[in-house]
A and B are shown apart, each in its own frame.
Chain A
Amino acid sequence: MKRMAAIILLLLVPVLVRAQNDDWWNSDPSYVVPIDAAAVTADRPMRDIGIQETKLDTIALRDNIALSIADVLTFNSSVFVKQYGRGSLSTIAFRGTSASHTQVSWNGMKINSPMLGMTDFSMIPSYFIDDASLLHGSSSLSMSGGGLGGAVVLATEPADYKGLGMQAVQGIGSFGTFDEFLRVTWSNDHWQTSTRAVYTSSRNDFTYRNYNKKVDGQYPIDTNRCGAIKDFHILQEVYYNTGHGDRFGMNAWYMSSTRGVPMLSVDYRGNQSYINQQGENTLRSVLSWDHERRSWKLHAKAGYNGTRQAYDFIRDKGNGQMVQMVESRSRINTIYGQTEAEFFLPGNWMLTAQLAAYQHFVQSTDRNATVRTGAVIDGNTKKVAIGYDQARFEVLSYVSAKWQPGPRLGLSASLREELYGYSFTPLIPAVYADYLLSRKGNVRLKASASRNFRFPTLNDLYFMPGGNPDLKPEKGLSYDAGVSFATAKTDSYSLEGEVTWFDSFIDDWIVWIPTFKGYWTPRNVKQVHAYGIETKAGGFYQFNKDWQLHLNGSFSWTPSINNGDPTDWADEAIGKQLVYVPLLSSSVNGSLAFRSWKLTYKWCYYSERFTTSDNDIKSKIGRVLPYFMNDIVLEKRFVTAPAEISLKLAVNNIFNEEYESVLNRPMPGRNFEFFLELRPNFRRK
């Protein structure tokens, strides 16, 4: 309790913060960055009236190439990052909701799986994202409906460096891990191109003391079997800027991934050869046109998102012959189009209208079965595929009006209407307001309220077996209010912070439950009351021209309570915290720069995640205990005439903690990775 009080105290203390630009080709080796007071305390733009947003700064996104967006969020936000293992599925949940309540966009296009509703953030390399922000609660409605918890907005940006540039990074780490990254950019006054590629491979065969098994009376040292990773990503971007307010863009991101699916720590099937792996090939591409005039803007986008996923379980029959026991396949094709217009009217009005359409085509086969019609062993047979083939058309429409009646007050209202297949959501209204309480310290009050709806996914509706076409959409009602501040002194310090209270009610929460016939089916079963407090704070402190401290932290208290009716006479779940929603989560990230040296410390904390709906803490087998995680990075930068070179050593889990993010999924102990980065100086005369 004392420790918890200390954490709360620590995170409520306003520390520092500031956004930082990506120093792409830097001729100065120093990690000390200038502090610009005007940038920190600038008035918020009209489009952000009442918005609760967490922006991930470039320092976090460019920490190292081995990191995914899931890793970055773990140490730079207080959203819950649920990791099924190292290099395994990682999902994000806000404000006491679930992963499917987080909407995710990449360059404007929603990338949540239409089958599952969620996004695997372990598949998004942080070096492929230039601009990332979290929209909490009602604020997510500016992007999409369905984000009952919030939204993650990911985007790439044109490199603003003129001429030719190149960045190459090689990482070598524990468990046979190799990370290679290459980026080449070229730009002039009109054209900007960028090509990025990353290849990650890892045996991922870490060892751990397995307290869930015994061999000869002892807890064995087990190996994370079947966890090997081979991921390749390539991202091509081309932008053309007319110089007269028009910009055309093309972004295409191809990913090919083969990942083992590590066994549970209670699995005993490791004594024979087997392959348990998933493969994914995905192409995401977006064409864009941005047309900007003094009093209005028009944005148009068209895109495609195609995914092929495979899951295979192949094993030795016991005689050296391998047989396929599971062969599941899915194909998702999504075509996307969107237009958005913004108008700035006299009297400090801003109007926005947005119309987006998605056409999904999904084919999913989970298993092949043999129908046998004969009465004898050699009877008539035919093969049938167990799965579904469905398409869904979705239309998302949105209008908003923002008004700033005076220098201190901002008001905003929006309406959203969405179509899923043949069903319209009811109107989704939202209102936002903020008020500048004090210019000194830039103290601003913010508040918002909204309805929200999330439609069932295609798996919810059609999965074979178990899909339930009678599911209702989940309905949400949320409010939040908070206060933020920002203060800074140029080349001395900057401080920013925010505290937000939120309260939301979600009805008809969809939960998959087993049936008597051995499969699972989704039902609308829960009413949930999720509420709590989010805080974040951060900034910089510059001791002198050589020394600089950067700290930021976040903390969330998120009760997420099952307020439904009992499902059974013996139901003890009412009034209890939802499964796998931590009550407390926190992260702190600090770095100390001395000229061309930098030491970064990353820390995160999650309280216990209950695995039972009655929050049983008497059980000795079903608890996922609280954990702190500590990583450290030391880096040194050299600038020579031909190139800038930096060396980086990352030590993860420095205290070699034994922990689980998900029950019975092993996580690695202390591990290392070394990075060498090279940026040739093509401007050299």
Chain B
Amino acid sequence: MKTLKTLLTAVLALTIALLPSCMKYGPSEEEEFNVDPSGDGLFIINEGNYMYGNASLSYYDPATKHVENEVFFRANGFKLGDVAQSMTMADGIGWLVVNNSGVIFGIDPATFKEKRRLTGFTSPRYLHMLSPTKAYVTQIWDPRVFVVNPVTCETTGYVTTDMDYESGSTEMMVAYGKYIITNCWSYQNRILKIDTSTDTVVQSLVVGIQPESMAMDCNGKLWVLTDGGYEDSEYGYEAARLLRIDPDSFRIEQTFYFPDGAVASKLTVNSEGDELYWLDTGVWKMPVDAAHLPVRPFISRDGSLFYGLTVNPVNGEIYVSDAVDFVQSGVVLRYSPDGELIDTFNVGINPGNFCWR
């Protein structure tokens, strides 16, 4: 019995000793960055996982092949948020759109410090700067394009559309004169032309199910890539398409049909604007004056899950991100314009978009 009492006393003593916790949540130190403003610099926008709040920003210096990860958090001492969608450089500020946090941060591209903050959105996707005091912000599952003043950080109006609130969506924006052309992606099939002087939709064009991305070529022609939706969808399903559109007349000039099952995405152009690039398992390349889709990818790599794509506007180098299994650090692969691998580097989770400084 004495042994038992001793044992119980020891247990109680241990229990009491272990009661306090070992929490480590608390303030984070702000790191000082000051990257060289000369030369190229590539921001990698890592979406993170939906509802995890683990989006992040990476910065890569092509000259030194040096990458810094989580630079937004490290420079500012707080998190970027949930699902970072895009980043746009304008007037010396990098505008980071964080979709499921409903916020846009304007950061200094040299120090990564927050300089501006835009809020009041429902589900922002892209920002396009029209003037120092006016920008458009597209939304998913909200039919409106928000008109914001990036200086006062206020919403000044909306471009209304005929879509509804449950499935309306606007995505990327391409400027053409006084117009902005935006693609309506999720459960939509059109592109819209918006007059920026009146903030109204002046034309729409049905291009195919789910126009996913757009790019303007050297001839002033708009290229649109549709992903075709998904199988058994009540909305419809079709093969992906690549379309050339005259932005003036807003008519389709040429349509290229992808084979059934293709998962084409991330359309972009090279620095000269005379070649189109996109992802479809590998990286594909096509001159803008081609008569047919290419039959084989420009870059393919077995065991890779290509997720994001950009072309260096200065030297035509190709950067493609690999999301691996979607729940670990992604990897970016850097290729020469000829398709030779130059460098690989680890970034954050789900690197979906890029932005050149």
**Which residues of A are at the interface with B, using a C-beta cutoff of 8 A?**
3, 6-7, 9-10, 13, 15, 211-214, 219, 264-269, 271-272, 315, 317-318, 323-327, 367-379, 384-386, 464-466, 493, 513-519, 525, 541, 549, 551, 566-573, 579, 588, 590, 601, 603, 611-614, 616, 619-622, 625-630, 655, 657-660, 663-664
Contacts and interface: CB of A to CB of B under 8 A. Distances in A.
A385 to B, nearest CB: 7
The 10 A-B pairs of least Cβ separation, nearest first, read A664-B53, A269-B102, A369-B187, A614-B328, A268-B103, A628-B21, A384-B234, A266-B53, A369-B167, A569-B303
A268 B165 CA distance: 20
Nearest to B188: A372
Given A268-B103, A514-B50, 7 more contacts: A266-B81, A268-B98, A326-B141, A368-B166, A376-B204, A566-B303, A621-B53
Contacts of A378: 162
A551 B9 CA distance: 12
Contact of B54 (A493, A513, A611): A611
Given A268-B102, A571-B324, A611-B52, A214 B76 contact: yes
B206 interface: yes
Nearest to A493: B4
Contact of B15 (A10, A264, A370): A10
B205 interface: yes
**Residue among A513, A603, A622 facing the most chain B CB atoms (10 A cut-off):** A622
**Residue among B4, B53, B163 facing the most chain A CB atoms (10 A cut-off):** B53
A372 B279 contact: no
Main secondary structure of the interface of B (DSSP, over half): loop
Contacts of B22: 3, 626-628
Contacts of B103: 268
Contacts of A518: 185-186
A517 B166 contact: no
Given A269-B122, A616-B328, A7 B18 contact: yes
Contact of B328 (A323, A377, A573, A601): A573
Interface stretch (B23-31, B34-42, B86-94): B23-31
Nearest to B77: A214
Contacts of B317: none
Contact of A571 (B4, B187, B263, B328): B328
A615 to B, nearest CB: 9
B337 interface: no
B280 to A, nearest CB: 9
B182 interface: no
B21 A657 contact: yes
B70 interface: yes
A413 to B, nearest CB: 39
Contacts of B76: 214
B120 A271 contact: yes
B234 A385 contact: yes
**Residue among B10, B82, B119 facing the most chain A CB atoms (10 A cut-off):** B82
15 contacts: A3-B18, A10-B11, A214-B76, A271-B119, A318-B120, A370-B167, A514-B350, A517-B212, A551-B11, A568-B325, A579-B327, A588-B15, A611-B52, A660-B25, A664-B82
A315 B234 contact: no
B100 interface: yes
Contact of B166 (A272, A325, A379): A325
B159 to A, nearest CB: 13
A626 B25 CA distance: 10
Nearest to A269: B102
A626 B155 CA distance: 41
Contacts of B138: none
Nearest to A614: B328
B298 to A, nearest CB: 18
A6 B22 CA distance: 14
Contacts, number: 261
Given A315-B122, A567-B305, A369 B325 contact: no
Contact of A612 (B73, B114, B322, B328): B328
A13 B4 contact: no
A655 B165 CA distance: 45
Interface stretch (B59-67, B225-233, B253-261): B225-233
B4 A541 contact: yes
Main secondary structure of the interface of A (DSSP, over half): loop
Contacts of B101: 264, 266-269
B54 A622 contact: yes
Contact-residue bracket for chain B: 35 or more
B173 to A, nearest CB: 18
B187 A367 contact: yes
A265 B206 CA distance: 39
B218 interface: no
Nearest to A653: B21
A655 B349 contact: no
A211 B26 contact: yes
A514 B304 CA distance: 15
A680 B295 CA distance: 84
Contacts of B305: 567-568
A211 B29 CA distance: 11
B73 A620 contact: yes
Interface in B256-315: 263, 265, 279, 301-305, 307
Interface in B140-189: 141-142, 144, 155, 158, 161-167, 185-189
Contacts of A379: 206
B79 A517 contact: no
B186 A622 contact: no
Contact of A211 (B78, B80, B189): B78
A588 B17 CA distance: 13
Given A7-B18, A369-B235, A372-B206, A268 B119 contact: yes
A621 B98 CA distance: 15
A83 B100 CA distance: 21
A613 B327 contact: yes
Contacts of A15: 8, 11
Given A13-B7, A517-B263, A568-B325, A621 B82 contact: no
A572 B244 CA distance: 41
B21 A627 contact: yes
Contacts of B165: 323-325
Nearest to B168: A370
A571 B346 CA distance: 11
B96 to A, nearest CB: 12
A476 B333 CA distance: 38
A212 B28 CA distance: 9
A525 B186 CA distance: 27
Contacts of B230: 465-466, 517, 519
Given A6-B18, A266-B81, A377-B201, A517 B7 contact: no
